[in-house]
């Protein structure tokens, strides 16, 4: 192996964790009309499944997240991305619930995606990987849940793209979801969000090292393009207030303006850092595919244009959460979702958490968020008959 | 009555305001209930824990909503004036609007929505026709500030005050049947007066009505 980090290698044999393989002779049906197989699903679990198999919680990760939700990341060495919520004594208490988190189809942390080897050619898929959807991701997760012998999930939870998967779960498998927590998300990707994603994709494709998507076989890496994509996206995860509070117009490592194009302002330096660390752990083609999956997400379209029909007859208890300063998935999107849930007479709670931290707030230490989710989970657990 | 759900939340509140107890007593166990303007969830919490209802709440204040949800109640942030139209007809057995009608922008439309989405609606409101309110206006010539109307006219959220007779007249106008009517005293206890009626309108501190669609 000549690659400096496992995250950028063609295959991911070194990444720790569990694997499920959907065999080639019974492949995963895709929304594009085709199939994909074999499919490896890389996943992690925490806690223990109880005797009734009633305490399973599926955590769905966001665009650049992965299955390492509550443990040190094997590549970055950073804490799990949702350790604030998942862990012993946390809202999703690993001493009480069986937590499952799987890398999405199209991802780059061990689940089959564009950087893995296509068995038909012996080469990485690259752009020959099929365009996948949120529905495909969830269909793959359903395989995983079935393989674990779980008939119904106590809870499906996720933020941003993870929240889209939560909604897809509730719509596609209404009998399998007892409680659903879609956080900082929407039932469809907005034009503005598609536009931001397109900027990111164009940045990647404009990098000469992208090589028409064949960089893995050609031995290059479109780090600059992917880095710019991440920088642009990262701005959308924050808020103007938070950026100002954190950086203002402060200069980076200097007393005065230098009249050049170095990272003179702290905010520039911060974004460059975000970009350069991101390329160490993420695959550029995965970024194209997963952003595309989000762009395609429009739950109402699958139900005759009526979002309420997606939730008709749903017995799930929903807790919809938005954040005041989130302009990527603003409260208006959550409210539209709540209106549809009301129209379906679903059991729904809806809270907007006051914060200036923007979209990223769902990943951060927000006591009000934990208080609300804790109460919701507790109420659902009692109704499910789960022991404290 | 203890139930298996009693341990939800920190402390289920058994002792609730007297007028809320009266409302709770009208709701058969197991009903599907929407409490509009549920505040911090006092009535809803009681109904869920002690009347075993399938209870939902709507509250305009975000702080109130967050408290309710953190307590394990199903509550959304919403406005009676704008957010009732989303619900399908007959979604609930009972829809409760306690001490909120007078603060709505369009009480007539709100009432119509209540009896559409609920098989029955329970509505309570402070009675502006109570004798001491009439006297205050008569003697002082100023808008009355009382226990029920404790905010000056220029900052009160109560923009559509009415008397019990006004309310009954509106119900008749829009084709809503009053299945049951009563008045409560200042302590929230029922008084033995027929409502609507002359004495009820004069002596009742609050009106409390069970409404249904006609026809």
pLDDT averaged over every residue in chain A: 95
Query: Is there a single domain that holds both residue A66 and residue A143?
Result: yes
Say what the pLDDT of residue B13 is. Answer: 74
Mutation test of the interface with chain B: which of A351, A367, A371, A387, choosing the one with the most B Cβ atoms within 10 A? A351
CB of A336 within 8 Å of a chain B CB? The answer is no
Query: Is there a single domain that holds both residue A63 and residue A172?
Result: yes
Q: Which residues of chain A are modeled with pLDDT < 70?
A: 1-13
Query: Is there a single domain that holds both residue A25 and residue A131?
Result: yes
CB of A315 within 8 Å of a chain B CB? The answer is no
Boundary (domain end) residue, out of A255, A290, A325:
A290
For residue B54, give how far its alpha carbon lies from the nearest alpha carbon of chain A (Å).
9
Boundary (domain end) residue, out of A244, A263, A290:
A290
Domain with A253 in it: what CATH number?
1.10.1740.110
Query: Is there a single domain that holds both residue A259 and residue A320?
Result: no
CB of A342 within 8 Å of a chain B CB? The answer is yes
Query: Is there a single domain that holds both residue A74 and residue A204?
Result: no
**Does residue B46 sit within a domain?**
yes
**Does residue A76 sit within a domain?**
yes
Enumerate the active-site residues of A: 160, 326, 359
Contact A348 B73 (CB under 8 A): no
Q: Which residues of chain B are modeled with pLDDT < 50?
A: 1-10
**Does residue B105 sit within a domain?**
yes
Q: For A75-107, b where at least 16 C-beta lie within 10 A, e where not — what string?
A: beeeebbbbbbbbeebbbbbebbbbbbbbbbbb
**Does residue A1 sit within a domain?**
no
Contact A317 B74 (CB under 8 A): yes
Query: Is there a single domain that holds both residue A109 and residue A229?
Result: no
**Does residue B10 sit within a domain?**
no
Which residue of chain B comes nearest to A387, CA vs CA? B7
Say what the pLDDT of residue B39 is. Answer: 94
Contact A368 B66 (CB under 8 A): yes
Count of the separate structural domains present in chain B: 1
Say what the pLDDT of residue B4 is. Answer: 36
Across the interface, of B4, B65, B88, the residue whose CB is closest to A351 is: B65
CB of A228 within 8 Å of a chain B CB? The answer is no
The percentage of chain A sitting over the pLDDT mark of 90, rounded to a whole number, equals 94
List residues in chain B touching A: CB distance below 8 A.
4-5, 7-9, 54, 56, 62, 65-66, 68-78, 83, 86-88, 91
Q: Please report the beta strands in chain A, taking only residues with DSSP state E, as ranges in sequence order.
A: 18-22, 28-29, 35-36, 39-46, 56-60, 86-87, 92-93, 98-102, 117-118, 123-124, 153-159, 177-183, 317-323, 347-353
**Does residue B65 sit within a domain?**
yes
**Does residue A199 sit within a domain?**
yes
**Does residue B71 sit within a domain?**
yes
Which residue of chain A comes nearest to B64, CA vs CA? A351
**Does residue B145 sit within a domain?**
no
Contact A342 B83 (CB under 8 A): yes
Is residue A67 within 8 Å of residue A113, measured between CB atoms?
A: no
Please tell me the distance from the alpha carbon of residue A371 to that of residue A266, in angstroms, as a whole number.
Answer: 34
Say what the pLDDT of residue B101 is. Answer: 96
**Does residue A57 sit within a domain?**
yes
Residues 6+ apart with CB under 8 A from B131: B202, B203
Contact B66 A319 (CB under 8 A): no
- Enumerate the residues of chain A whose CB falls inside 8 A of the CB of residue B65: 349-351
Count of the separate structural domains present in chain A: 2
Query: Is there a single domain that holds both residue A248 and residue A281?
Result: yes
Note which residues in 80-119 of chain A have CB less than 8 A from chain B. Answer: none
Across the interface, of A340, A372, A383, the residue whose CB is closest to B66 is: A372
Domain with B63 in it: what CATH number?
3.40.50.150
CA-based end-to-end distance of chain B: 37
With residue B44 as reference, give the H or E element that holds it. Answer: helix B42-50
DSSP secondary structure string, A133-194?
A: -HHHHHHHHHHHHHHTT-SSEEEEEEETHHHHHHHHHHHH-GGGEEEEEEES--SB--HHHH
CB of A378 within 8 Å of a chain B CB? The answer is yes
Could you say which DSSP state residue B75 is in? E
For residue A165, give how far its alpha carbon lies from the nearest alpha carbon of chain B (Å).
22
**Does residue B97 sit within a domain?**
yes
Query: Is there a single domain that holds both residue A342 and residue A371?
Result: yes
Query: Is there a single domain that holds both residue A222 and residue A99?
Result: no
Query: Is there a single domain that holds both residue A78 and residue A220?
Result: no
- Enumerate the residues of chain B whose CB falls inside 8 A of the CB of residue A319: 69
- Structural domain of residue A242, as residue ranges? 194-290
- Enumerate the residues of chain B whose CB falls inside 8 A of the CB of residue A379: 8-9, 71-73
Contact B73 A343 (CB under 8 A): no
What are the pLDDT digits (tens) for A143-172? 999 999 999 999 999 999 999 999 999 999
Domain with A126 in it: what CATH number?
3.40.50.1820
CB of A348 within 8 Å of a chain B CB? The answer is yes
**Does residue B140 sit within a domain?**
no
Contact A339 B83 (CB under 8 A): yes
Mutation test of the interface with chain A: which of B49, B77, B85, B90, choosing the one with the most A Cβ atoms within 10 A? B77
**Does residue A64 sit within a domain?**
yes
Boundary (domain end) residue, out of A243, A268, A290:
A290
Query: Is there a single domain that holds both residue A164 and residue A308?
Result: yes
Three-point CA angle A239, A244, A250, nearest 5°: 145
**Does residue A262 sit within a domain?**
yes
- Structural domain of residue B87, as residue ranges? 18-127+161-213
Query: Is there a single domain that holds both residue A232 and residue A166?
Result: no
CB of A371 within 8 Å of a chain B CB? The answer is yes
CB of A27 within 8 Å of a chain B CB? The answer is no
Residue of A387, A370, A369, A380 lying closest to A317 (CA atoms) = A380
């Amino acid at each position: 192996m000549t690659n400096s980090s496992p995250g950028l290698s063609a295959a991911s044999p070194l990444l720790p964790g569990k694997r499920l393989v959907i065999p080639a002779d019974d492949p995963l049906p895709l929304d594009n009309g085709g199939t994909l197989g074999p499919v490896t699903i890389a996943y992690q679990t925490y806690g223990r499944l109880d005797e009734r198999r009633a305490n399973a919680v599926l955590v769905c990760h966001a665009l650049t997240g992965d299955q390492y939700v509550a443990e040190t990341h094997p590549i970055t060495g950073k804490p799990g991305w949702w350790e604030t919520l998942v862990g012993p004594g946390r809202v999703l208490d690993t001493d009480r619930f069986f937590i499952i988190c799987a890398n999405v189809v199209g991802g780059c942390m061990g689940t089959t995606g564009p950087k893995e080897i296509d068995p038909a050619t012996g080469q990485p898929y690259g752009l020959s990987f099929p365009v996948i959807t949120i529905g495909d991701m969830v269909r793959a997760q359903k395989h995983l849940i079935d393989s674990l012998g779980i008939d119904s999930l106590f809870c499906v939870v996720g933020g941003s793209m993870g929240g889209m998967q939560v909604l897809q779960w509730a719509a596609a498998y209404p009998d399998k979801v007892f409680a659903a927590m879609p956080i900082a998300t929407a039932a469809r990707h907005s034009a503005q969000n598609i536009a931001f994603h397109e900027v990111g994709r164009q940045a990647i494709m404009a990098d000469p090292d992208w090589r028409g998507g064949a960089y893995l076989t050609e031995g290059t890496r479109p780090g600059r393009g992917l880095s710019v994509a991440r920088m642009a996206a990262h701005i959308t995860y924050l808020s103007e207030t938070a950026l100002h509070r954190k950086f203002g117009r402060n200069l980076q490592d200097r007393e005065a303006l230098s009249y050049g194009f170095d990272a003179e302002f702290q905010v520039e330096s911060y974004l460059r850092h975000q970009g350069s660390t991101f390329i160490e752990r993420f695959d550029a083609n995965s970024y194209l595919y997963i952003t595309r999956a989000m762009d395609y997400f429009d739950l109402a379209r699958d139900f005759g244009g009526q979002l309420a029909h997606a939730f008709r007859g749903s017995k799930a208890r929903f807790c919809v959460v938005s954040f005041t300063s989130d302009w990527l998935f603003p409260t208006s999107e959550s409210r539209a979702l709540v209106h549809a849930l009301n129209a379906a007479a679903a059991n729904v709670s809806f809270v907007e958490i006051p914060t200036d931290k923007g979209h990223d707030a769902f990943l951060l230490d927000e006591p009000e968020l934990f208080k609300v989710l804790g109460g919701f989970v507790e109420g659902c657990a009692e109704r499910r008959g789960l022991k404290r | 009555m203890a139930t298996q759900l009693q341990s939800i939340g920190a402390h289920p509140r058994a002792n609730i305001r007297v007028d809320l107890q009266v409302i709770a007593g009208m709701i058969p166990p197991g009903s599907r209930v929407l409490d509009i303007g549920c505040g911090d969830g006092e009535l809803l919490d009681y109904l869920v824990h002690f009347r075993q209802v399938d209870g939902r709440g709507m509250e305009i204040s975000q702080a109130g909503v967050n408290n309710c949800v953190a307590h394990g109640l199903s509550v959304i942030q919403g406005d009676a004036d704008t957010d009732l139209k989303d619900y399908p007809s007959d979604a609930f057995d009972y829809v409760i609007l306690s001490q909120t009608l007078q603060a709505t922008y369009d009480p007539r439309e709100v009432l119509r929505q209540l009896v559409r989405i609920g098989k029955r609606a329970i509505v309570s409101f402070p009675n502006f026709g109570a004798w001491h309110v009439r006297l205050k206006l008569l003697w002082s010539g100023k808008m009355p500030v009382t226990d029920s109307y404790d905010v000056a006219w220029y900052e009160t959220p109560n923009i559509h005050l009415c008397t019990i007779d006004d309310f009954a007249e509106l119900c008749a106008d829009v084709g809503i049947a009053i299945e049951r009517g009563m008045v409560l005293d200042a302590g929230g206890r029922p008084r033995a007066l027929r409502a609507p009626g002359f004495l009820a309108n004069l002596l009742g501190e609050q009106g409390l009505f069970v409404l249904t669609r006609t026809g």
